[in-house]
Amino acid sequence: MQRRSLVSFGAVALAGAAALLAPFAAQAQAFPTRPVKLVIAFPAGGPTDITMRQLADNASKILGQPVIVDNKPGAGGTLPAQALQGTPADGYTVAQIPLGVFRLGYTTKINWDPIKDISYVINVTGYAFGIVVPADSPFKTWKDFVDYAKANPGKLSYGSTGTLTSPHLTTERIAQQAGIQLQHIPYKGSADLMLALQSGQLMAGADSTGFATLVEAGKLRVLNTWGEKRLAKFPDAPTLKELGYDIVQNSPFGIGAPKGTPPEVVKKLHDAFKQAMEEPSYVAALGKYDMLPDYKSSAQYAQFAQDTVAREKVIIEKLGLAKGQ
């Protein structure tokens, strides 16, 4: 009798749990039933905005609901990831996760963990970077740039897309290896940085290849690029490795959702964005900025986040930029 009662009680308990979970399972299966917001870390008009809008447009057709881009620039590209911390875990808000997010815990006091408190959906691409100067600059080559910086410590100004972004940190690594001291001026994104560079407020800029159209128009000159190989668009610009620096930087980025987002919803988002990034229109949009698709699955992206957090700790501490240093 006792055994029968226990079995009966267990069956009732399981049925009750199933009844409680049923609405959530149905919700995940129906997802999405309304627009999805994709928060990106840089302003409108730059390479990130343009390529992510194309990705969002492609994903909208696959999901059957609009994917609306919301620009949230500033704080070194970390605001979208921080915004996820107060967002419902239902998949209707997702965010771009730039590399700066993985440095945040070492440079800023935060009450959340970039590894544990984001549901990693998919990695989509990475940047091509370089250092540019105005076309009328006296710096015709990278050697000219370094020679001036050595003769004038702290006087050569350069801009980046924000403090502790990849352009900022990589330039500081270059400066450290070259034995020079530069004056860093942060901007919210490529569009603002390029305006400042053209108006004479800066002597140089470190950025992704959103500068390509200005170089092609004869307004800027590329002194170096940061990939493994020279860029086809700028065949005369040497890589950092060619210049003697053991540095390659392409700063992969992807899309994350709030912690606790149902796995079924994460999978739907992953599958939609994976299909979206395989569309020729997205590949063409990336190609304008010498960017390439860089796919990582949800599991691979989560592992990448863990590995990158460990690696960035070493770089931040070496540059003396960790909080308390």
List, in order, residues 6 or more apart from 200 with CB less than 8 Å away. 134
Whether 6 has a pLDDT exceeding 50, the answer reads no
pLDDT of 46: 87
pLDDT of 3: 46
Q: How confident is the model at residue 19 (pLDDT cuts 50, 70, 90)?
A: very low
Beta strands in the chain (DSSP E): 36-40, 67-71, 93-97, 118-125, 129-134, 157-160, 183-186, 204-208, 220-225, 253-258, 293-296
pLDDT of 16: 52
Residue type, 43: P
Q: Give the whole-number percent of the chain exceeding pLDDT 90.
A: 78
Q: Count helices and strands (H / E) in the chain.
A: 11, 11
pLDDT of 315: 86
Interval 121-150 mean pLDDT? 97
Whether 181 has a pLDDT exceeding 60, the answer reads yes
Q: pLDDT tens, 215-250? A: 999 999 999 999 999 998 999 999 999 999 999 999
pLDDT of 92: 98
Q: How confident is the model at residue 205 (pLDDT cuts 50, 70, 90)?
A: very high
User: Residue 131's beta-bridge partner residues?
Assistant: 206, 224
d(CA 64, CA 229): 39
pLDDT of 76: 84
Name the average pLDDT for the chain: 91
Q: pLDDT tens, 278-316? A: 999 999 999 988 899 999 999 999 999 999 999 889 888
From the list 165, 144, 137, 186, the residue with the least C-alpha distance to 312 is: 165
Whether 28 has a pLDDT exceeding 50, the answer reads yes
Whether 5 has a pLDDT exceeding 70, the answer reads no
Whether 41 has a pLDDT exceeding 90, the answer reads yes
pLDDT of 71: 97
Whether 14 has a pLDDT exceeding 60, the answer reads no
Q: pLDDT tens, 79-91? A: 999 999 999 999 9
Interval 110-137 mean pLDDT? 97
pLDDT: which is higher, 268 or 288: 268
Rounded to 5 degrees, what are φ and ψ at 29?
-65, -35
Torsion of CA 145, 317, 247, 110, to 10 degrees: -100
pLDDT of 321: 81
* Secondary structure of residue 130 in the 3-state scheme: strand
Whether 15 has a pLDDT exceeding 60, the answer reads no
Interval 171-191 mean pLDDT? 95
Q: Give the whole-number percent of the chain exceeding pLDDT 70.
A: 91
pLDDT of 324: 65
Whether 196 has a pLDDT exceeding 70, the answer reads yes
Are the CB atoms for 124 and 254 separated by under 8 Å? yes
DSSP designation for 239: B
pLDDT of 20: 46
300 phi-psi bin (left φ>0, alpha ψ -120 to 50, beta other): alpha
Whether 253 has a pLDDT exceeding 50, the answer reads yes
Whether 27 has a pLDDT exceeding 90, the answer reads no
The number of CA neighbours under 13 Å toward the Cβ of 223 is 23
